[in-house]
Amino acid sequence: MAGVQVANLSRSFGAHKALDDVSIDFADGGFYALLGPSGSGKTTLLRQIAGFDFPDSGRIAIGGESVERVPVEKRRIGMVFQNYALFPNMSVADNVAFGLSVRGEAKATIASEVQRALDLVQLGKLGARRPHQLSGGQRQRVALARAIVTKPRVLLLDEPLGALDKALRVDMQIELKRIQREIGITTIFVTHDQEEALTMSDRIGILRDGRLVQEGPPEEIYDKPKSEFAATFLGDANILRGETTGTGIRLADGTAIAAGAGATLAAGAKASCAVRPERIRIGTDSGTSDPNANMLRGQISKRIFAGNNSTYFVDRDGQTIKVIVQNTGVEKLAEGQKVVLRWSPESTVLIAASQDMD
């Protein structure tokens, strides 16, 4: 087991900068998600760490050892591919045995290690099957067993749950997390599914256009996004734009919005505030309330009922603000109604006007 350090990594394909000066420290034993839209460079980064492709510049170290020029077969990594890539001409057991067998391990050792790995992924009895006789979830488990049986230093997962249906995906998320904890392996997980990144990982790195936008624990990125992109890509966010006052912003119509978190900015610069839809309270009264709370008035343009919660779209000065309200059985607001929105400054994140928003 070992940590992975990536420092100032860059890689271009022709004129396209797939990775642009990316540095991340993947802690030993951690579960790390690389999150980003397609074309963000997350898969390129994973393939660099695996060793399928070499960087133009920068360093990659696994367990303190520089590997950026070491080919994949010598890096001692385990990888699970998006489409599993099981060898169709081999049985399940032979698939899992492959890594040990090319290494020239003794037959008896291979047999017992393979059985242990198959037991770990709860497929102990299916060793004799062929990959095409398995379900999607089972193939996924075989691919995982095959990747970890060689005791790699790091486990790399390239959108491993993308091909599964939703219910199975949730099962596999729990299963994958359990196995990862059990063997304590450093795991780097590429996904474009923000929910998956939030629920599974210790840390998340958000990539965009080959650059690392933000990196940290899921709560931190969710509560304190540093850019409009991070705020809107990981979870939902309302973005209010204006001029900064140093502790908040002033909207075009003069309304002041106070922010309790985020960047420290010089007054007068362009800036925005991000507010999560579930942090906003919605009501009809304008009277008694916390005098420090941010307040906006608007009109409900649309309400979407989703059982345990409702989403309101509130129009205000040409902008639509999204509000999510838990269904407590009390609130009954109709479309067209004039409402007051309130939320605390602590739920408001000040973000510098960014270059990363188109």
Partner 1 sequence: MATTRILEWCGRLYIWLLLAFLYLPIIIMALMSFNVSPFYQLPFEWTTEWYASLWLNDQLISATWNSIEIAIITTVISTVLGSAASLALYRHEFRGKKALQALLFPPIAIPWLITGTAMLIFFFGVGIGRGLFAILLGHVALALPYVIVVVSARLQTFAPELEEAARSLGANQWQVTSRVTLPWIMPGVIAGGLFAFAVSFDQFVVSYFLSTPGQTTLPVEIYAAIRKGFTPEINAVSTIIIVVSMALMLLTARSFKFGGEK
Q: Which stretch binds partner 1 (CB under 8 A): 19-27, 82-90, 205-213, 221-229?
A: 82-90
Among 69, 125, 132, 332, binds partner 1 (CB under 8 A): 132
Contacts of 222 (CB under 8 A, 6+ apart): 198, 234, 235, 276
Nearer Cβ to partner 1 (153/226): 153
Q: Which of 11, 42, 139, 146 binds partner 1 (CB under 8 A)?
A: 146
Return the residue of 72, 163, 170, 352 that touches partner 1, per CB under 8 A: 72
Other CB atoms within 10 A of residue 65 CB: 12
Pick out residues in 259-298 that bind partner 1 (CB under 8 A). none
Q: How far apart are CA 354 and CA 358, in angstroms?
A: 9
CB distance 81 to 143 below 8 Å: yes
Strand partners, 78: 155
Handedness of CA 148, 152, 154, 160 (dihedral sign): negative
**Which of 147, 212, 265, 321 contacts partner 1 by CB under 8 A?**
147
Contact 202, 32 (CB under 8 A): yes
Least distance in Å: CB of 92 to partner 1? 14
- Per CB under 8 A, the list member of 45, 50, 333, 349 interacting with partner 1 is 50
Check binding of 87 to partner 1 (CB under 8 A). yes
Q: Which of 40, 44, 138, 150 binds partner 1 (CB under 8 A)?
A: 150
From 23-31, 65-73, 186-194, 205-213, span contacting partner 1 (CB under 8 A) = 65-73
211: its two tokens = 């650059």
Q: Contact 197/326 with Cβ under 8 angstroms?
A: no
**Closest-CA residue to 150 (of 201, 116, 200, 190):** 116
Q: Does 52 bind partner 1 (CB under 8 A)?
A: yes
Q: What minimum distance in Å lies between the beta carbon of 150 and partner 1? A: 6
Binding region for partner 1 (CB under 8 A) out of 67-75, 179-187, 199-207, 310-318: 67-75
Rounded distance, CA 179 to CA 342, Å?
A: 43
127-141 CB burial, b ≥16 within 10 A, e <16: bebbbeebeebbbbb
Q: At what angle do helices 107-120 and 136-148 cross, to 10 degrees?
A: 130
Select 16 or 87, whichever has its Cβ closest to partner 1: 87
Binding region for partner 1 (CB under 8 A) out of 20-28, 78-86, 228-236, 338-346: 78-86
Q: What residues from 6 to 45 belong to the interface with partner 1 (CB under 8 A)?
A: none
Binding partner 1 by CB under 8 A: which of 37, 56, 57, 71? Answer: 71
* Count of CA atoms in the C-beta half-sphere (13 A) of 62: 26
The correct pick among 11, 76, 139, 153 for binding partner 1 (CB under 8 A) is 76
Q: Cβ distance 297 to 339 under 8 Å?
A: yes
Interface residues toward partner 1, by CB under 8 A: 50, 52, 71-74, 76-79, 81-83, 85-89, 98-99, 102-103, 132, 146-147, 150
